[in-house]
Amino acid sequence: MLYSQNNISNLSPHLFWDVDISHVNFNTSQKFIVERVLEFGLISDWRIIVSVYGMEEIKKTSLQLRTLDPVTLSFLSGLFNLSKQSFRCYKNKPSTQNYWTY
């Protein structure tokens, strides 16, 4: 599927600070783009991915993401009327050590 209406450069530049933007496109980088917008995007970025992928694709993608912050998880859970347990990130929480506690 070709998305000619929206250009990847219409998304906020801070979403891709660590990658070469010329290698990111809506066709091959869906999971990456959706994850970045959900975690760090602005409302304008959200509107772009909704117009490009649609709510059902965003739902399918978000259910498979390994990590989502608690606020984003709560938002998506309410938006899609799903329990938090439905999301992969809820089931597979990464085990991280807190280095600041004694």
- At residue 7, the pLDDT reads 82
Would you list the domain boundaries of the chain? 8-88
- At residue 100, the pLDDT reads 59
Quickly count: other Cβ atoms within 10 Å of residue 6's Cβ: 14
- At residue 91, the pLDDT reads 77
> Which residues are CB-contacts of 76 (< 8 A; sequence separation ≥ 6)?
38, 59, 62, 68, 82, 87
| Global pTM value | 0.81
Residue 12 near residue 33 (C-beta atoms within 8 A):
no
pLDDT in tens, 41-96: 999 999 999 999 999 999 999 999 999 999 999 999 999 999 999 999 887 665 55
Of the candidates 93, 37, 29, 38, the one whose C-alpha atom is nearest the C-alpha of residue 67 is 93
